[in-house]
Structure formats: structure tokens, C-alpha cells
Structure 1
Amino acid sequence: MSPEQSVGLVSQGVTLVITLVMILIVPSLLVGLLVSIVQTATQIQEQTLSFLPRLIVTLLVLVFTGPWILRQIISLFQGIFQHIPGAIG
């Protein structure tokens, strides 16, 4: 396996990890920001108030994007396994 192929596989993996993390984290951050703004406007300073909406949004995003995430991971690993014979020989 040439260094270019190795770098390509690593960059695909890193790009996939960043994409998957962004898909799961960004909605949670937005909901947390929205809840914080509401807390500031109403002067409710309860620490646990922002936890439940963020948890629910994260779980909903995981439920709706879970099959796509799984397909992306499977596709990456299939590509890696297809490159194994070229790396050995």
C-alpha cells in the first residue's frame, strides 16, 4: 500500500468521525443555547433544566440519523477491508 493510499484512508476516517460528531453535537448545542437564552430571559437559574431537552434532542437525532450513520461506518470499513490485499501484497 502506498503512502498516498494510507493517507487517503486515514483522511476518510477522520472526515467521517468529524461529520458524525457534528451531526450529534450541533443540535444539542443549539438546544442548550436556546434553553440558556430562555433561562436568562426568565431569570430561572436551574442547572438541570437544560439537561433534559438536550438529552431528548440528542436521542432523537440518533434515532433519525442512526441508519445513515451505520451505513457510513459500514462503507468506510468495507473500503478499508478491500484495500487490505493491496497493503499486504
Structure 2
Amino acid sequence: MNSQTVLTLGSEAVTLLLMVSLPVLGAVLVVGLVVSIFQAITQINENTLSFLPKLVVAVLVFALAGPWMLATLVDYLRRMIESIPSMVQ
């Protein structure tokens, strides 16, 4: 295994990590921004008001995108395990 292979595997892993985490992080970011704007407009400073909607949206996104996320991660892991013999040579 040379350094180019290690860099390629690392780059692929980081890209996969970003791709899988983006739906949840994006949805929570948008909801957090909307709740923050609402709190600024109404001058309500309640921590639960910002936490609960983000939690609900994160659970919904995991419920909707979870199968795709899991399938993507399992496929990547399967490819990595199958490529071990060719890397050891």
C-alpha cells in the first residue's frame, strides 16, 4: 500500500462522511436559523424552544434518509473489506 492509495481512501472516506451527514446537518441548520429569527423577533429567550424543533427535525430526517444513509455506509464498508486482499500485496 503506497501513500497515494492511503490518500485516496482517506479522501473517499471524508467525502462519504460529508455526503451522509449533509441531510441531517442541513435540516437542523435551517430549523435552527428559523427558530433563532423567531426568537429574535419575539424576544423569547427559551432554550427548549430552540432545542425541541431541531430534535424533531433530526429524527424525521433520520427516519426518511436513514435507509439511504445506512445503505451507503454498508456499501462503502463492503467495498473496503473486499479490497483488503489487493491492498495487502
Tell me the TM-score normalized by structure 1: 0.89
* Count of residues paired in the alignment: 89
Distance, in Å, in 2 between the alignment partners of 1:35 and 1:72 is 31
Identity of counterpart residues, as a percentage?
38
The aligned counterpart of 1:51 is 51
Which residue number in structure 1 is paired with residue 38 of structure 2? 38
Q: What's the CA shift string for 1:34-76, capped at 9, x where partnerless?
A: 0111111112111211111000000000010000001110111
The one-letter amino acid paired with 1:27 is A
- Residue pairs, 1:7-86, within 5 angstroms: 7-86=7-86
CA distance in 1, matches of 2:84, 2:24: 31
Identify the range of structure 1 (61-70 vs 12-21) with the bigger mean alpha-carbon deviation: 12-21
Distance 1:78 1:3 in 2: 22
Write out per-residue CA displacement over residues 7-51 of structure 1, whole angstroms, 9 at most, x where no aligned residue: 222211111112222221111111011011111111211121111
- The runs of 4+ residues in structure 1 deviating greater than 6 Å are none
User: Shift of the alpha carbon at 1:2?
Assistant: 3.8
Structure 2 unaligned residues grouped into runs of 5+? none
Structure-2-length-normalised TM-score: 0.89
Structure 1: gaps spanning 5 or more residues: none
Higher relative contact order (CA 8 A, sep 6+): 1
